[in-house]
Amino acid sequence: MRIGMLTGGGDCPGLNAVIRAVTKSLIRQCGAEVIGIEDGFLGLIERRVRPLGWDEVSGILATGGTILGTSNTASPFAWRGRDVSAEVVAYQRELGLDALVTIGGDGTMTMAARLGEVGGVPMVGVPKTIDNDIAGCERSFGFDTAVATVTEALERVETTGQSHGRVMIVETMGRYAGWIALEAGLAGGADVILLPEMDYDVPTIAATCRRREERQRYTIICIGEGAKQSGDRQTVQAHVPGSPDPVRLGGVGHVLREQLQPYLNSEVRTTVLGHVQRGGDPTPYDRVLATRYGHKAAQLVLAGQFGQMVALQNGQIGSVPIAQVANTQRTVP
Ligand code: F6P
């Protein structure tokens, strides 16, 4: 067997643990050859691959990022204004691939499945996002690491906020789902938690800050990047033509600072955490979860169960059809 593997979309702590587990399981269980595709679909478009053997994936369990590289703008169906899917399919055949393990978000997995439908090799998906918002899957690897990073940031911001008697706003990632802000906000003892799922009301937040001004002197606010005041639009940092996510979010923490300051005596300050949340080594929980996902993906390939995404459901590793989860998000209820 020859199995291709790629990581697509934004990176996430634990990708290397998945790559390692898929490779070692396939080699040990059936002596498969594993081909690593560089930079997501870009590697299939630009014909950049390399073999992944036991040695190539040793020592990467605990490392952040992805040894294969990733891209979140390369689509075989719209590459520099052209549909190059036929060339990509021909390249998959030329490589002699039997299947493709696709580690990515909803968009990446759907793209791989679509390639299969137009003559490409069948695929198995491994869900990836720090946002933890993939439908049909109660926990994606990388989320625990992101929550740990944000929790630590909230604690650090708290001591300085306390010293200066300030309102400290910490902005987290989380495009449409507020899981990171919610869980880190709870774990880090934030006084106000604002999510994309629930529009906020400035006077209500200001009232909380004023109450705390009188007693504790400081307030910690944890806000997901996708949150907004009712009636407003999400805060867009940049437009990204050609990307599956056409807008880059970020900056709502600054917007909220401007909105809140007129109501308060104490100074309001904002920290936008950004990619700090996606970088660094995965937590032990994420290393284990990613390893379980990688092993399961290899089992699906060996069993010929294609078009499936591995998923954690009720604490058990199983799988769901990609078609069932495409274009849906698991948001905070
Ligand atoms: O989807 C994961 C995520 O981290 C989002 O929370 C965030 O909006 C986005 O990726 C940022 O992606 P990029 O690194 O491409 O700006």
pLDDT at 178 over 90: yes
Condensed to tens digits (0 to 9), the pLDDT of residues 143-163 reads 999 999 999 999 999 999 999
pLDDT in tens, 205-262: 999 999 999 999 999 999 999 999 999 999 999 998 777 778 999 999 999 999 999 9
Could you give the 3-state DSSP secondary structure of residue 264?
coil
What pLDDT was estimated at residue 93?
96
- Rounded to an integer, the average pLDDT of 80-103 is 96
Mean pLDDT on 164-190: 97
Helix, strand, coil % in the chain, rounded to nearest 5: 40, 20, 40
CA quadruple 7, 11, 14, 17: dihedral positive or negative?
positive
Contact in structure between 131 and 34 (CB atoms under 8 Å)? no
Q: Could you identify the atom of ligand 1 that is nearest to the CA of residue 250? A: 8
Q: 209 and 219 in contact (C-beta within 8 Å)?
A: yes
* Ligand 1 contacts CB of residue 131 (under 6 A): yes
* pTM as predicted: 0.96
pLDDT at 275: 97
The catalytic site residues sit at 131
Q: Is the CB of 72 under 6 A from ligand 1?
A: yes
Please state whether beta strands 316-321 and 308-313 pair in parallel, antiparallel, or not at all (unpaired): antiparallel
Q: Are 174 and 274 in contact (CB under 8 A)?
A: no
pLDDT of residue 241: 77
Whether 189 has a pLDDT exceeding 90, the answer reads yes
Per-residue pLDDT reduced to its tens digit, 272-310: 999 999 999 999 999 999 999 999 999 999 999 999 999
